[in-house]
Structure 1
Amino acid sequence: MTPFRTATDVAAGIRRGELSSRDLTEQLFARIDASTVNAVVETCRDSALEAASEADRTVARGPLHGVPMTIKDAFAVAGLPTTWGEPAFADCVADEDAAVVERLRAAGAIVVGKSNVHHLLADFGRTENPLYGRTLNPRDHTRTPGGSSGGAAAALADGLTSLEYGSDLAGSIRIPAAYCGVYGLKPTPGTVPLRGFQPPGPPKPLAREFPSAVGPLARSAADLRVALEVTGGALRPPRRSRLGEFRAGVVLDDPACPVTGEVGAALSDAVDALARAGVQVLEGWPPDVDPAGQAEAFGFQVELFFASQEGRDLAGAAEQERRRADLGAAWARYFADVDVFLCPTVFTTAPAHDDRHRYDDQVFWIAQASLPGLPAVSAPIGGELPAGLQVVGPAHEDDTAITFADLAADIVGGFVPPPAGSGRVLDR
Structure 2
Amino acid sequence: MTELFYLTAVEQLALLRSRDISAVELLEAHLDRIDRVNPSVNAIVTLVQERALAQARRLDDDAVRGRWHGPLHGLPVAHKDLVDTAGIRTTYGSRLFADHVPVTDALLVRRMREAGAITIGKTNTPEFGTGSHTVNEVFGATRNPYDLTRSAGGSSGGAAAALASGMISLADGSDMGGSLRNPASFCNITGLRPTPGRVPAPSDTAAWFTLPVSGPMARTVGDLALLMSVIAGYDAAVPMGPLDDGSEFAAPLDADLTGLRVAWSPDLGGLPVDPATAEATATAPEVLEKLGARVERVDLDLSDADEAFRTYRAWWYVLSFGELPEEQLTDNVRWNLARGREVTAADLARAERLRSGLFARMAEFFRNHDMLIAPVSQVPPFPVDKPYVDEINGVALPDYLAWMRSAYWISVLHSPAASVPCGFTPGGLPVGVQIVGRPYADLDVLRVAHAYEHATGFGTRRPALPGA
Question: TM-score w.r.t. structure 2 length?
Answer: 0.83
The residue number in structure 2 matching 1:296 is 307
**Equivalences for 1:24-423 in 2 at 5 Å?**
24-35=26-37, 36-57=40-61, 58=63, 59-124=67-132, 126-195=133-202, 204-206=204-206, 208-233=208-233, 234-235=245-246, 241-253=255-267, 256-285=270-299, 290-309=301-320, 310=322, 314=344, 315-357=346-388, 359-383=400-424, 384-421=428-465
Q: 2: CA distance between counterparts of 1:407 and 1:52?
A: 34
Q: 2: CA distance between counterparts of 1:360 and 1:136?
A: 20
| Greater shift in the superposed pair: 187-196 or 237-246 | 237-246
Q: 1: CA distance between counterparts of 2:370 and 2:360?
A: 15
The alpha carbon displacement at 1:255 in A equals 6.3
| Kept after mapping to 1: 8 A contact 2:146/2:464 | no
**Residue identity matched to 1:131:** V
**Residue identity matched to 1:133:** G
Q: 2: CA distance between counterparts of 1:402 and 1:326?
A: 27
Extract structure 1 runs of 4+ deviating beyond 4 A: 235-240, 310-313
Q: 2: CA distance between counterparts of 1:103 and 1:421?
A: 33
- The aligned length equals 412
**Residue identity matched to 1:141:** L
The residue number in structure 1 matching 2:333 is none
The residue number in structure 2 matching 1:22 is 24
The alpha carbon displacement at 1:208 in A equals 4.5
Q: 1: CA distance between counterparts of 2:348 and 2:317?
A: 13
| Consecutive unaligned residues in structure 1, runs of 5 or more | 197-203, 424-428
Q: 2: CA distance between counterparts of 1:217 and 1:68?
A: 13
| Kept after mapping to 2: 8 A contact 1:247/1:280 | yes
**Residue identity matched to 1:378:** S
Q: 2: CA distance between counterparts of 1:75 and 1:12?
A: 29
SS in 1 for 2:50: helix
Question: TM-score w.r.t. structure 1 length?
Answer: 0.90
**Residue identity matched to 2:308:** A
| Identity percentage of aligned residues | 35
| Greater shift in the superposed pair: 84-93 or 352-361 | 352-361
| Kept after mapping to 1: 8 A contact 2:141/2:384 | no
The alpha carbon displacement at 1:422 in A equals 7.8
Q: 2: CA distance between counterparts of 1:323 and 1:88?
A: 36
The alpha carbon displacement at 1:205 in A equals 3.2
The residue number in structure 1 matching 2:329 is none
The alpha carbon displacement at 1:81 in A equals 0.9
| Kept after mapping to 2: 8 A contact 1:208/1:305 | no
Q: 1: CA distance between counterparts of 2:269 and 2:197?
A: 32
Q: 2: CA distance between counterparts of 1:11 and 1:111?
A: 16
| Kept after mapping to 1: 8 A contact 2:308/2:352 | no
| Kept after mapping to 1: 8 A contact 2:10/2:222 | yes
Q: 2: CA distance between counterparts of 1:277 and 1:301?
A: 39
| Kept after mapping to 1: 8 A contact 2:266/2:281 | yes
The residue number in structure 2 matching 1:4 is 6
The alpha carbon displacement at 1:90 in A equals 2.1
Q: 1: CA distance between counterparts of 2:144 and 2:463?
A: 13
| Kept after mapping to 2: 8 A contact 1:240/1:400 | no
| Greater shift in the superposed pair: 254-263 or 186-195 | 254-263
